[in-house]
Structure 1
Amino acid sequence: MKARTNVTENQVEALKRDGEVKQVAFSASLLASGSGTLGPFNTHTPLTFRYVITNIGNAYNPNTGFFIAPVRGAYHFEFYIGADGANSHASAVVLVKNGEHICIAYEHQTSGYGSSAKGTTLLLEVGDVVFLRLWVDSRIYDNDNHRSTFSGHLLFTM
């Protein structure tokens, strides 16, 4: 009887740990505080979204800007980019998976403010890395209203 109880307790603990891993969601804004524009740069530049709104499961690292998949599954990502008026530079950000460009959000706002957004669902393996990269010769704007954000969450494991 005691052996059965120990096995059951171990199974319950394993299920709890498994359930914790399946809870993955994050949302972060580009700037930790204040307002400003990053770019343009003469090369593609990884972005680090420093103001963490939510980070359930701690799969997003605000020091590197990397999301690292903790479990195999389908994940949905969305990103919104702020574009302040600039005749000579567009705002363009690419979603990157393991070094491969997946999709881009692009806006060329010559005056005033504009924005662009993109979302996609990816099948990720444990350890796959997803991040955002500022496109060469482009800019991105953020302020205290959190106009530029990067979010993702696990839809289901596989």
Structure 2
Amino acid sequence: MMRSAVFSLLLLVCLLEDSIGETDDLSSSFIQLDISGELKSLKDLVNQQAAVIEELRKENAAQASELSALKKEVDKLKNESADRPKVAFSAGLGPPAEQKGPFSADTNLIYSKVLTNIGGAYNPYTGAFTAPITGVYYIRFTASSYGSTSNNMGLNLYKNGQYLLHLGENGVDGIAKHVSSGITLELAAGDVVYTRLPANYVVWGGTDLRTTFSGFLIFLL
């Protein structure tokens, strides 16, 4: 009886040891599985970050290329602007403050009060602008009459002796008048543009520059 009890006790101890060993093995397996899962998650995260960084690198490279091309275009425009002749003028009928005209024949208007003459293409002694280079120019002019007059007020624009247009207003009411206009012209180097006071017309001159003649180069051809 005693031997049977001892044998049973020994058998129970062995079973418990086996059970504990199996539990330790299971715990070790679970720990290994947890570490493996964490490593896989970290690896996936690193790969995702690497993909994002690569995409950003490509975008930065593309933007750098665009900026480089834009800088080249800006530099090109600066060089073209620097090489392009600068032409601009503005002048008015200066003092004395008095009415010009009426005359019995068409008469060239001479704008003696020069405000701007960049490029020196306007001649204050003849009232004519000579295009220094072939291009498109903007020409603007104004006219006025002041005081009681029954004469019409206005002027004509000419190019190389060819009549281009008329700007004016009837003056029978004797009231001060102001008119202005502008035109875009394609001019070859050496073309001459000027204004003339039509016969029996009047304009007003003086320090207030009511009657003016201006122009500038828009672009080359």
Query: What TM-score comes out, normalization by structure 1 length?
Result: 0.83
* Gaps in structure 1 of 5+ consecutive residues: 1-14
Contact 2:111 2:213 in 1 (8 A): yes
Gaps of 5+ in 2: 1-78
Contact 2:137 2:217 in 1 (8 A): yes
The aligned residue for residue 100 of structure 2 is: 38
Of Structure 1 and Structure 2, the greater strand share is in: 1
Larger Rg: 2
Aligned equivalent of 2:150: 88
Counterpart CA distance in 2 for 1:19 and 1:38 is 41
Cα distance, 1:85 vs structure 2: 4.2
Aligned-residue offset at 1:86: 4.5
- Which of the residues 108, 112, 118 maps onto 2:181? 118
Match of 1:61 in 2: 123
- Contact 1:83–1:108 (Cα < 8 Å) also in 2: no
Match of 2:212 among 137, 145, 149: 149
- TM-score normalised per structure 2: 0.60
Q: 1:45 to 1:125 in 2, by over 3 A?
A: same
Between the two proteins, the alignment pairs up a number of residues equal to 141
- Matched residue of 1:63: which SS? coil
Judge which range, 38-47 or 107-116, deviates more.
Answer: 107-116
Corresponding residue SS for 2:83: helix
Identity %: 37
Question: For the residues of structure 2 that align with 1:55 and 1:102, how far apart are their CA atoms?
Answer: 23
CA distance in 2, matches of 1:86, 1:137: 15
* C-alpha RMSD over aligned residues: 1.7
More helix per residue: 1 or 2? Answer: 2
* Structure 2 Cα separation of the partners of residues 42 and 56 of structure 1: 35
> For the Cα contact (< 8 Å) 2:144–2:154, is it kept in 1?
no
